[in-house]
Amino acid sequence: MRRLLMATYEYQCSRCGPFEVKLAIGTAPGTYGCPVCAVAARRVFSSPGLTVTPHAVAALHDREERAREAPAVVSEVPPGKRVPRRPHPALSRLPRP
């Protein structure tokens, strides 16, 4: 099964004003019938809806992308506060050999 990618195209009707149509990418005609009055409306070219990514999110994304190519290798445990390991209480009830 082949999946078609859809895009939103804008048209301007001389009677009713602007409207949008979802069509497969690359198949939008120069004119399209208005859904209200059926008059041929001309296609309007506009800028794509882009958003600005916050700096912190972009930095994390870049870091993650770099880690895919060259992951950081840790050779020793970093210094810091060590928490003593206590066995889980349920383990004390297990039979011992």
Kindly compute the dihedral angle of the four CA atoms of residues 33, 35, 39, 40, in this order, to the nearest 10 degrees. Answer: -20
37 has a pLDDT exceeding 80: yes
The candidate with the shortest Cα–Cα distance to 4, out of 30, 29, 31, 22, is: 22
The strand pairing partners of 7, in sequence order, are 23
Condensed to tens digits (0 to 9), the pLDDT of residues 43-96 reads 999 877 677 888 999 899 898 988 888 887 878 877 877 777 788 888 888 888
pLDDT at 1: 60
Structure tokens at 60: 């994390």
Name which CATH class applies to 1-68.
Answer: mainly beta
The candidate with the shortest Cα–Cα distance to 49, out of 20, 27, 23, is: 20
40 has a pLDDT exceeding 80: yes
Supply the pTM of this predicted model: 0.49
Contact 31, 43 (CB under 8 A): yes
The candidate with the shortest Cα–Cα distance to 9, out of 48, 65, 35, is: 48
Q: Which residue has the higher pLDDT, 22 or 78?
A: 22
